[in-house]
């Protein structure tokens, strides 16, 4: 028998900015309780004014922090309706300048932390007979990009994890899906614009236009557009039979 909850609850990692913040805001707008996983409580203060928000200290690079966050959620939240593994980092560097430490850090943040959280939190979903898990991957999970070997490897791994867990948990009533954005208008996009400008001497406007033209829409994806797809996968009855899928939101870049 599926146990119903009076309050729908979602845990979002990297909730303080960018895609994670947009996701959190959309869930709050729809009356959900949001467990906002971030490094500092101050960083989620803007979210607290928008609804039922609970801060959970979380550093995806630190195994102890990830386990402590999972314990807090298990103890205080109980059965989550949904988990969104959004926190991630990128690195752009040629292979010979990518250290083993760089590679391991990206893998830990982008793959190991989502693996650990899903392992620790999916048990309550299985027990309740219902749960939705969404992993934020990337177009770097769809194809290779020059100078991003570590990042591409981590996002390919995250997509593989998503598909495997989808098969494992389907019979238990838990869906696992991925959302793969292209260049999205976040701090990461701004930092890339800055790097291109500094390395080429071009203006930031020119650098931004170069990145924007990587997809047929000639604009970066909006965080809110990613959030809408995540919300659909987590909340819509129409997504109940969707599992192991990867929703690519890239303006046609990888077509």
**Do 209 and 86 fall within a single domain?**
no
**Do 146 and 191 fall within a single domain?**
no
DSSP three-state, residue 249: strand
**Do 27 and 109 fall within a single domain?**
yes
**Do 229 and 211 fall within a single domain?**
no
**Do 47 and 163 fall within a single domain?**
yes
Q: What is the pLDDT of residue 3?
A: 41
Set 147, 151, 231, 247: catalytic member: 151
Q: What is the pLDDT of residue 1?
A: 31
**Do 104 and 150 fall within a single domain?**
yes
**In terms of residue numbers, what domain contains 206?**
183-220
Q: What is the pLDDT of residue 5?
A: 52
How many CB atoms are located within 10 Å of the residue 209 CB?
A: 14
> Is the residue at 40 inside a domain?
yes
Separation of alpha carbons 111 and 131, rounded Å: 20
245 HSE (CA, 13 A, CB side): 15
> Is the residue at 246 inside a domain?
no
**Do 87 and 187 fall within a single domain?**
no
Q: What is the Rg, in whole angstroms, of the alpha carbon atoms belonging to the chain? A: 18
Q: How far is CA 139 from the centre of its chain?
A: 13
Total structural domains within the chain: 2
**Do 227 and 160 fall within a single domain?**
yes
**Do 38 and 50 fall within a single domain?**
yes
231 is known as an active-site residue: no
> Is the residue at 2 inside a domain?
no
* DSSP label of 67: H
> Is the residue at 13 inside a domain?
yes
Q: What is the pLDDT of residue 2?
A: 36
Q: Which residues of the chain have pLDDT under 50?
A: 1-4
Q: What is the pLDDT of residue 195?
A: 73
**Do 148 and 72 fall within a single domain?**
yes
Separation of alpha carbons 35 and 81, rounded Å: 11
């Amino acid at each position: 028998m599926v146990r119903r909850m009076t309050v729908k609850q979602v845990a979002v990692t990297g909730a303080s900015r960018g895609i994670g913040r947009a996701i959190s805001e959309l869930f709050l707008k729809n009356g959900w309780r949001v467990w906002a996983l971030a490094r500092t409580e101050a960083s989620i203060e803007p979210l607290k004014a928008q609804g039922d928000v609970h801060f959970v200290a979380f550093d995806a690079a630190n195994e102890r922090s990830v386990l402590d966050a999972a314990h807090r959620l298990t103890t205080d939240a109980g059965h989550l309706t949904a988990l969104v593994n959004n926190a991630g980092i990128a690195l752009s560097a040629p292979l010979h300048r990518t250290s083993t430490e760089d590679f391991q850090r990206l893998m830990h943040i982008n793959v190991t932390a989502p693996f650990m959280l899903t392992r620790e939190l999916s048990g309550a979903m299985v027990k309740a007979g219902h749960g939705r898990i969404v992993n934020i991957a990337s177009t770097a999970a769809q194809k290779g990009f020059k100078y991003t070997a570590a990042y591409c490897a981590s996002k390919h791994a995250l997509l593989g994890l998503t598909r495997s867990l989808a098969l494992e948990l389907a019979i238990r009533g838990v869906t696992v899906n991925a959302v793969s954005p292209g260049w999205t208008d976040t701090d990461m996009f701004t930092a890339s614009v800055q790097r291109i400008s500094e390395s080429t001497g071009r203006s930031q406007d020119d650098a931004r236009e170069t990145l924007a033209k990587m997809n047929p829409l000639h604009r970066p994806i909006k965080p809110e557009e990613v959030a809408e797809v995540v919300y659909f996968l987590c909340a819509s009855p129409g997504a109940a039979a969707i599992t192991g899928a990867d929703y690519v939101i890239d303006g046609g870049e990888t077509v």
